[in-house]
Structure 1
Amino acid sequence: MLINCQSISKAFGAQQLFNDISLTFSSGERLGLIGPNGSGKSTLLKILAGLETADSGKIIYRKGVKVSYLAQEDTFDPDLTVEKALFLAAADEADETARLGRVKRMISQVELGQGTELVANLSGGWRKRLAIARALIKNPDILLLDEPTNHLDIQGILWLEKLLSNQQFAYVVISHDRTFLENTTNRIVEMNRCYPEGFFRVNGNYSRFLVERNAFLESQQQLQEVLANKVRRETEWLSRGPKARTTKARYRIDKAHDLQSEFSDVRRRNSADKQLQIDFEATGRKTKKLVEVTAVDKSMGGRTLFSNLSFVLTPGRRLGLMGANGSGKTTLMNILAGKTAPDNGSVFFADGVRVVLFDQKREQINQEQTLRQALSQTGDTIIYQGNPIHIVGWAKRFLFQPDQLDQPVSRLSGGEQARILIARLMLQPADVLLLDEPGNDLDIPSLAMLEESLLDFPGAVVLVSHDRFFLDHVTNKILGFPGDGKTVMYDDFNQWLKGQQANESARRQQNPPRKKTAVPRTKKLTYKERLELESIEEQILTAEETLIHCRQQLTNPAVMENAEELAKWCALLQPAQDTVDRLYARWEELESQNEGQ
């Protein structure tokens, strides 16, 4: 046992997050913690990390246990280098040389170059890797991870899965990525008021959890029906005004009241599992060809994002876009939305076709507005599919409470703001839905409802997401962006992944390890060459650092949005690669010559 929680409760004001929860976390634990937004998952993790206190109950830690915590959003001094940030995090190591060695090994493990990059220059994905490294360098017995896949692209998520699979410590991970949970956990705990204990735990991965959860919820519905019949019979008996003159009669009256109380509890719990109600409105047009993309090219700052790209969007086509951050996915979405023009080629839209864009940056939301204003620009009545709906009823459909309507949007969580955008999308009749990371911050039940709605949508869907489960269930084609200016069409995510692996294998075959240059054994190193050999390793490290910096800048969102900056880093990339190649070749030549002496 590493941590034992005994009857802990937590509330914020009048909002009860969880009550009287008891959980144990043991060595070898790989626990996935899930539940609806607002169920208290992140708060529980902070309590376990010692950053929050429970209102009641006990938390017992094994003597000497080391707990490390990865927050949803990291905080770093932007002026620190990667190495310095990790050096400060490894403060438990008294010996400075050993501490530095530990830092160097961690930098290599999470693939952060040489560690001299400033934190301020890291993109979101690389900052997340740094945050993971900072948590790992403390050598925890148990690691607490709150949404660790946030900001990581697909390759980053696969890297994290592999990293966790090779670790010996226990961990608790909050995630809405169901494939990630499937691949990384051996126990699932869902926090939800629909369960008698306030949570439901299953030994096994996410697939096993779904089987047992569905069986439990079905049994609860059956129990509600049985209790309803019993309550109906006892209510009829009570309505006849029985006299409590005998012990048997008094017992039956008391039992009837207990039965009503039990029925109310079961019904309340069963109704607590509320779900988002999503139903996108289509225009109903019968056009077979909605959008046709023909031989489209697009470059930014001299870098080709994609070239000679052609495809057709028809009703029922659900196209997923896959590739690393900065590979051109969002740019293509903006071209389809008419916000950006292609350099060459054409994009044909059917007459009157309606294209609606879901923006991952949520720039469409005014943070100063109230929730009421964000949901409706026309007062307290909303027209949906030709029918009037009051704002309160509309808000409840998206799991908002009436007392939230006058709160500013800025006070709402990321998941709640995502639900606002979905509510707006539902009010816009569309032929084509462009969804850029629509699942960000949504909980698993909301993601499931979004999936079902998209599967029922009769128009075309173009989708960018790092959620593999979501992509597998929704899309019927994948357009891959390898990052070399080309694009490839795949049938599903697994085919795309195999394609990526094949590309990597082909790249290695095209660039095999260099054979050492044969140098006559009689030729000795000159004094100048010996000095060069002694210093060349340091030169290579510096050159590789420059190359990594160039690559990171090309995926930096701020650079991607600045054509001048992007052109500058594109121009620096190839010379940096050439320098590394030249230095390695020279090193091998000098080593071979030195060995021949």
Structure 2
Amino acid sequence: MSLYSISDAQLAFGHVALLDHADFSLEAGERVGLIGRNGAGKSSLLKIIAGLAKPDDGLITRQNELTTVYVPQEPEFDLEASVFDVVASGLSHERELLDEYDVVAHKLADAPSEGPEHDALMSRMNTLQSSLDLHDAWSWQTRVATTLQQIGLDGDVRSGALSGGMKKRVALARALVVQPDVLLLDEPTNHLDFEGIRWLEELLVTLRTGLLFITHDRAFLDKVATRIVDLDRGRLLSYPGNYSAYQTRKAQQLEIEQVEAAKFDKLLAQEEVWIRKGVEARRTRSVGRIARLVEMRNERAERRNVQGNVKLDVGQGERSGKIVSELTDVTKRYGDRTIVDNFTATVMRGDKFGFIGANGAGKTTLLKMILGELAPDEGTVRTGTNTQVAYFDQMRAQLDLDKTLADTISPGSEWVEVNGVKKHVMSYLGDFLFAPERARSPVRSLSGGERNRLLLARLFARPANVLVLDEPTNDLDIQTLELLEELLTDYDGTVLLVSHDRQFLDNVVTSVFASEGGGKWREYVGGFTDWQIQSERSEKIALEAARDTAKQAKKDDGPKDSGAGRNSQRSTKLPYKEVRELEALPAQIAALEAEQKSIAAKLEDGSAFAKDPKEGTRLSERHAAIDEELLVALERWEELEAKRK
């Protein structure tokens, strides 16, 4: 039996049906990812399942004594309370039962040993004891302490002093301490950094509870989901497997749907021609055929077509100088803490850089120094000429909640000019899926995803040659994300991107600035996955080199001709030649990586091909050849390491 199911559900806001005779069920142990366009009704469905809202119609069934916990996008709790007390507030029902049990026990001790009062108190105590046993409430403090330990939280810290990512962990701990049968999560990766997202993925795949979550993080869906449910035009469509499997099946389904719709429209057009024929045809027409035509007209009127995509087009400013920003030995400190330590880098026109680091690592600080908005404590920053910067702020501080959508896009005018083409503000808002009747609505009436869409519309309406995007993917639906990826990939200007969406980084950026702790930053060629592979490989090589150094130091400190030294020589499985080869490989790999990075810098702006096509071709071929050499060297290194062990 399903933990929860809803059949023939209907829910509408105004004239839009969010749920249109929809069916859904959740089995024990399932991890279901709920996806759909912004405003499709995903959060509304989550609240219905949580019991916080009701559908207009539909049959709901759930198992007896089912415990359901809902964690919203922006959890709220007492910021003055300790983390322990916030997490313990998830067990408020159990603690109330325990408090009442203590009160009844004291009354029973003072009551006569016989009589109606004694019997009533004993009956209540037995009921409470059964409930306490059922909910495992006797050891609630141990449950809270264990949950805090599992999630890595300090119970004594004031919750208001925590970062956004740690507050998210507190909200999850408050949910998990309840030991729910069904866990509902709305955008759980918001405010989490890469380590936090990885931690959450590992946590959720080990849970035995039924899980339903909303997210637009495609990598997270691939890792966690065992089934995808797509809320599409009021219907809930189920696809077994992760997001990658869903993409294939969804594309096939839409293709079939388009073919069937085209056939239907063609037949309807033929019937409309027939009904309008002359008098002779009308005398002989079939009553059944007329009835079928009426039915087809109604069916066509009720059809809900796939919602159109956002039409993204960024206003191209004048070309900036070749160098956008040049940082030389810059250092920035806040008190005793070093945020950026002796960092050197150059951002060229057309570069697309991503910023990778934990929350609080200093991504925004480094970004502001690159733009020249923040002076370093040491070192120099030289900003380029003719830079026109457009800024996307994740906190949406640029949006005035009391302004209308039209005034936000084009204050004091009804026209917007993008790349030399004038558009009416209503038409431009339509490109971002805002209906004309909403253009005069205040910004505060929009959902989180719609506000992000509006911010993108405002951003792209202004000419710019440097786009600075701080967490632009939050709350955007997957279709808009993919379109934004395409636009940024084709954009001729410079892009500086802060995002925790791993796939978005992979698809957009060509290099990353990664925090390596202690204020140290390093540039890596490629996206998130490339950084991950390179950094893990560098850590492994550094670790092996440190071990070799320690072994050599230990050997040098010992007696030269001691028996122990001779025994250690005999215990080595590698011949002398291979030992020497193994020692040389880390330096060889590092040299190849440095050469490849140097070639990539020369090829990046295309000037190598313009100056000398043959040299450009040679460099391009050498860049590809280094990939092969690196692969061979790494495989050889792993082979020799395995033999030595």
TM-score range relative to shorter protein: 0.7 to 0.9
Counterpart of 1:442?
476
Q: Kindly report which structure 2 residues correspond to 1:172-571, keeping only aligned pairs within 5 A, or say none.
A: 172-193=212-233, 198-241=235-278, 243=281, 245-246=283-284, 249-266=286-303, 269-270=304-305, 272-283=306-317, 285=319, 287-490=321-524, 491-498=526-533, 501=536
Counterpart of 1:19?
20
Deviation larger for 390-399 or 362-371: 362-371
Q: 1:126 to 1:454 in 2, by over 3 A?
A: same
Counterpart of 2:605?
none
Once residues 133 and 142 of structure 1 are traced to their aligned partners in structure 2, the CA distance between those partners, rounded to angstroms, is: 15
Once residues 246 and 165 of structure 2 are traced to their aligned partners in structure 1, the CA distance between those partners, rounded to angstroms, is: 30
How far the C-alpha of 1:228 sits from its partner, in A, is 2.9
Counterpart of 2:147?
106
Once residues 55 and 466 of structure 2 are traced to their aligned partners in structure 1, the CA distance between those partners, rounded to angstroms, is: 47
The amino acid that maps onto 1:80 is: A
The amino acid that maps onto 1:252 is: R
How far the C-alpha of 1:98 sits from its partner, in A, is 1.4
Once residues 261 and 450 of structure 2 are traced to their aligned partners in structure 1, the CA distance between those partners, rounded to angstroms, is: 31
How far the C-alpha of 1:504 sits from its partner, in A, is 7.5
Do 2:321 and 2:386's aligned partners in 1 also have CA atoms closer than 8 Å?
no
Counterpart of 1:143?
183
Larger radius of gyration: 2
Counterpart of 2:636?
none
Once residues 288 and 80 of structure 1 are traced to their aligned partners in structure 2, the CA distance between those partners, rounded to angstroms, is: 52
How far the C-alpha of 1:508 sits from its partner, in A, is 12
Do 2:418 and 2:463's aligned partners in 1 also have CA atoms closer than 8 Å?
no
Q: 1:14 to 1:249 in 2, by over 3 A?
A: closer
How far the C-alpha of 1:17 sits from its partner, in A, is 2.1
Once residues 293 and 509 of structure 2 are traced to their aligned partners in structure 1, the CA distance between those partners, rounded to angstroms, is: 52
Per-residue CA deviations over 1:210-244 (Å, capped at 9, x if unaligned) read: 11111111112222322233233333322213645
Provide the secondary structure at the position in 2 that maps to 1:213. Answer: helix
Once residues 18 and 285 of structure 1 are traced to their aligned partners in structure 2, the CA distance between those partners, rounded to angstroms, is: 48
How far the C-alpha of 1:86 sits from its partner, in A, is 2.1
Provide the secondary structure at the position in 2 that maps to 1:345. Answer: strand
Do 1:290 and 1:431's aligned partners in 2 also have CA atoms closer than 8 Å?
no
How far the C-alpha of 1:262 sits from its partner, in A, is 3.9
How far the C-alpha of 1:88 sits from its partner, in A, is 2.9
Per-residue CA deviations over 1:238-291 (Å, capped at 9, x if unaligned) read: 221364555x7333333344344444545xx33x42221111122353854333
Q: 1:508 to 1:402 in 2, by over 3 A?
A: farther
How far the C-alpha of 1:340 sits from its partner, in A, is 1.4
The amino acid that maps onto 1:325 is: N
Per-residue CA deviations over 1:455-496 (Å, capped at 9, x if unaligned) read: 111111110001111111111112111222111222221233
How far the C-alpha of 1:359 sits from its partner, in A, is 1.6
Deviation larger for 227-236 or 282-291: 282-291
Deviation larger for 288-297 or 466-475: 288-297
Once residues 203 and 304 of structure 1 are traced to their aligned partners in structure 2, the CA distance between those partners, rounded to angstroms, is: 48
Q: 1:76 to 1:474 in 2, by over 3 A?
A: same
Q: 1:504 to 1:112 in 2, by over 3 A?
A: farther
Once residues 41 and 448 of structure 1 are traced to their aligned partners in structure 2, the CA distance between those partners, rounded to angstroms, is: 19
Identical counterparts, % of pairs: 38
Counterpart of 1:47?
48
Extract unaligned runs of 5+ from structure 2: 96-131, 548-645
Once residues 278 and 158 of structure 1 are traced to their aligned partners in structure 2, the CA distance between those partners, rounded to angstroms, is: 31
Q: 1:122 to 1:502 in 2, by over 3 A?
A: farther
Once residues 186 and 376 of structure 1 are traced to their aligned partners in structure 2, the CA distance between those partners, rounded to angstroms, is: 45
Q: Kindly report which structure 2 residues correspond to 1:64-83, keeping only aligned pairs within 5 A, or say none.
A: 64-83=65-84
Question: Is 1:160 equivalent to 2:200 in the alignment?
Answer: yes
The amino acid that maps onto 2:145 is: K
Q: 1:297 to 1:495 in 2, by over 3 A?
A: same
Counterpart of 1:92?
94
- Select 1:170's aligned residue among 210, 218, 221: 210
Counterpart of 1:534?
none
Provide the secondary structure at the position in 2 that maps to 1:84. Answer: helix
The amino acid that maps onto 1:143 is: L
Q: 1:286 to 1:13 in 2, by over 3 A?
A: closer
How far the C-alpha of 1:178 sits from its partner, in A, is 0.9
Question: Is 1:131 equivalent to 2:181 in the alignment?
Answer: no
How far the C-alpha of 1:137 sits from its partner, in A, is 0.9
Extract unaligned runs of 5+ from structure 1: 512-597
Provide the secondary structure at the position in 2 that maps to 1:290. Answer: strand
Once residues 15 and 237 of structure 1 are traced to their aligned partners in structure 2, the CA distance between those partners, rounded to angstroms, is: 34
Counterpart of 1:562?
none
TM, length-normalised to structure 2: 0.74
Higher helix share: 2
Once residues 51 and 416 of structure 1 are traced to their aligned partners in structure 2, the CA distance between those partners, rounded to angstroms, is: 23
Once residues 544 and 413 of structure 2 are traced to their aligned partners in structure 1, the CA distance between those partners, rounded to angstroms, is: 61
Counterpart of 2:609?
none
Q: 1:78 to 1:283 in 2, by over 3 A?
A: closer
Aligned residues, how many? 503
How far the C-alpha of 1:307 sits from its partner, in A, is 2.5
The amino acid that maps onto 2:235 is: G
Q: 1:503 to 1:144 in 2, by over 3 A?
A: farther
Once residues 316 and 444 of structure 2 are traced to their aligned partners in structure 1, the CA distance between those partners, rounded to angstroms, is: 31
Provide the secondary structure at the position in 1 that maps to 2:343. Answer: strand
Counterpart of 2:3?
2
Do 2:7 and 2:58's aligned partners in 1 also have CA atoms closer than 8 Å?
yes
Provide the secondary structure at the position in 1 that maps to 2:326. Answer: strand
Do 2:372 and 2:383's aligned partners in 1 also have CA atoms closer than 8 Å?
no
Once residues 76 and 501 of structure 1 are traced to their aligned partners in structure 2, the CA distance between those partners, rounded to angstroms, is: 38
Q: 1:52 to 1:509 in 2, by over 3 A?
A: farther
Provide the secondary structure at the position in 2 that maps to 1:47. Answer: helix
Counterpart of 1:120?
160
Once residues 190 and 421 of structure 2 are traced to their aligned partners in structure 1, the CA distance between those partners, rounded to angstroms, is: 38
How far the C-alpha of 1:368 sits from its partner, in A, is 2.5
Q: 1:508 to 1:239 in 2, by over 3 A?
A: same
Q: 1:500 to 1:125 in 2, by over 3 A?
A: farther
The amino acid that maps onto 2:36 is: G
The amino acid that maps onto 1:205 is: N
Q: 1:450 to 1:329 in 2, by over 3 A?
A: same
Per-residue CA deviations over 1:422-453 (Å, capped at 9, x if unaligned) read: 11221222221111111122111111111111
Do 1:224 and 1:263's aligned partners in 2 also have CA atoms closer than 8 Å?
no
Provide the secondary structure at the position in 2 that maps to 1:428. Answer: coil
**RMSD of the alignment, in Å?**
2.4
Per-residue CA deviations over 1:343-368 (Å, capped at 9, x if unaligned) read: 23333333212222212222222222
Counterpart of 2:590?
none
Once residues 509 and 12 of structure 1 are traced to their aligned partners in structure 2, the CA distance between those partners, rounded to angstroms, is: 63
Once residues 9 and 96 of structure 1 are traced to their aligned partners in structure 2, the CA distance between those partners, rounded to angstroms, is: 38
Once residues 546 and 90 of structure 2 are traced to their aligned partners in structure 1, the CA distance between those partners, rounded to angstroms, is: 41
Deviation larger for 16-25 or 309-318: 309-318
